[in-house]
A and B are shown apart, each in its own frame.
Chain A
């Protein structure tokens, strides 16, 4: 009872803080300092139509590198925690047959899903989307394959190879930016091109391809690890 009262008191305190925020919020009419700088100079300096992409990849590229690292660490820790002990053997539990509809449809739809994912991350500098969204779409394609065939084992070597190659390429492009252009992850090491076309915005499409592949591999790895141990025998 006392615990409930304490919780309600804490919530009331948080709600009071939110009330202060709410009455001080008055729908702003103009952009603030940093936002107006990006709005005025973003298109000219970076050359990407989508300003969110230019912030995520170029102005705040180091944060994106850290984010991809955090995701990689999460995938690695999940694999480590769910690892089977040496003497623990996998007992093949009888898996329920998946329906004919799901298996046939997945063979048709999975390539289309991969294609949509690749489209989303290649066009990230022109339309809404980018490496993270495209990677998530690719991971959902892998998920559909897993649902259609629950005994499928995602090859660890392929996933690890794709992930390491794209991670190394991402950092290599960043270091090339120091040598050829203004700084780490500067996208002007390639010509900016014509504004609004596919081959524009310097290195942003290239960086987004590598981010998309890396995020797709990491999310597929998480899903594969959690679902693979389904057949673990109860101890």
Chain B
């Protein structure tokens, strides 16, 4: 059971990482990197590390994505 979940998580996280590096639209790439952090958080839960999972879900997946979007928004505002 855990092995099936781990395989699915591995596939999703690697696909998300490739998308974060290679997608043309920056906003999609940022969301994909948030997805990588979220799957990593579930992996930490499977590895019996609930403290790290909580930290990764709140900081790595939540705040980092938002800071990226604020920076992107500011760059677009300066553009025009």
Contact = CB atoms under 8 A, between A and B. Distances in A.
A and B touch in the complex (CB under 8 A): yes
Interface stretch (B18-26, B32-40, B49-57): B49-57
B70 A234 contact: no
Given A226-B74, A229-B74, A230-B77, A143 B66 contact: yes
A222 B68 CA distance: 12
B78 A137 contact: no
A139 B59 CA distance: 10
B62 to A, nearest CB: 6
Interface of B: 50-51, 53-55, 58-59, 62-63, 66-67, 70-71, 73-74, 77-78, 80
Contact of B50 (A128, A223, A227): A128
Interface in A94-117: none
Interface range for A: 20 to 34
B14 to A, nearest CB: 14
A136 B74 contact: no
B51 A223 contact: no
Given A226-B74, A229-B74, A50 B62 contact: no
A182 B66 CA distance: 43
B67 A230 contact: no
A130 to B, nearest CB: 7
Contact of A136 (B53, B59, B70, B78): B59
User: DSSP majority for the B interface?
Assistant: helix
Contacts, number: 52
A140 interface: yes
A132 B66 contact: no
Interface string A209-227: 0000000000100110011
Interface string A119-155: 0100000001110110011011001000000000000
A139 B63 CA distance: 8
A140 B54 contact: no
A223 B77 contact: no
A52 interface: yes
Contact of B70 (A50, A137, A223): A223
A223 B73 CA distance: 13
Given A136-B63, A232-B77, A234-B77, 15 more contacts: A50-B51, A93-B77, A128-B54, A129-B51, A133-B54, A133-B55, A136-B59, A139-B63, A143-B66, A222-B67, A226-B70, A226-B74, A230-B77, A232-B74, A234-B78
A223 B66 contact: yes
A52 B58 CA distance: 18
A136 B59 CA distance: 6
A-B pairs with lowest CB-CB distance, top 6: A128-B50, A136-B58, A52-B51, A226-B70, A136-B59, A128-B51
